[in-house]
Amino acid sequence: MVDKVEKSEAEWREELSDEQFWVCRQKGTEPAFTGVYHDCKEDGLYRCSACGNALFMSDHKYDSGSGWPSFWEPVTPDAVKTQTDGSHGMIRTEVLCGACGSHLGHLFNDGPRDKTGLRYCINSVSLDLDKE
């Protein structure tokens, strides 16, 4: 079970960098191939950069060629939650932190077929890597 984190938008704005606030709290997207983790090969546990919730293991990360860190499954089923995103004239599945509700990225059904078939396409700025 994930412990819920609740803060006011003013508290989030004070604690997060401008880029983190824009992506995590205002549902922004960093440009492809610019994030620190898009090509990262280091081992560890990826956590939510806003609240520290455990999200993804590095051994579930793969190179999707999309320009963003991609994972085929979260560390636990409740680590993330999803909801329909109808922004930008598209219907997509948004991925949110299961603890604080921060925007992480989007979920697609074009992931590795020998795993889950899913691609959790996540903004680097919404992640912190705990290296093993």
Domains and CATH numbers, the chain: 9-131 (2.170.150.20)
Q: Supply the mean pLDDT for the chain.
A: 96
| pLDDT tens-digit series, residues 84-98 | 998 888 899 999 999
Confidence category of residue 15, pLDDT binned at 50, 70, 90: very high
User: Is this model's pTM higher than 0.85 or not?
Assistant: yes
Catalytic residues: 121
- Residue 129 pLDDT more than 90? yes
Token pair of 109 as six digits: 């059904």
Q: Which amino acid is at 38?
A: H
CB 39 within 8 A of CB 125: no
Total residues found in the chain within this entry: 132
Token pair of 59 as six digits: 């051994």
The pLDDT score that the predictor gives to residue 90 is: 87
The pLDDT score that the predictor gives to residue 86 is: 87
Q: Measured between alpha carbons, how far is residue 23 from residues 30, 95, 100 in Å? A: 7, 12, 13
- Residue 21 pLDDT more than 90? yes
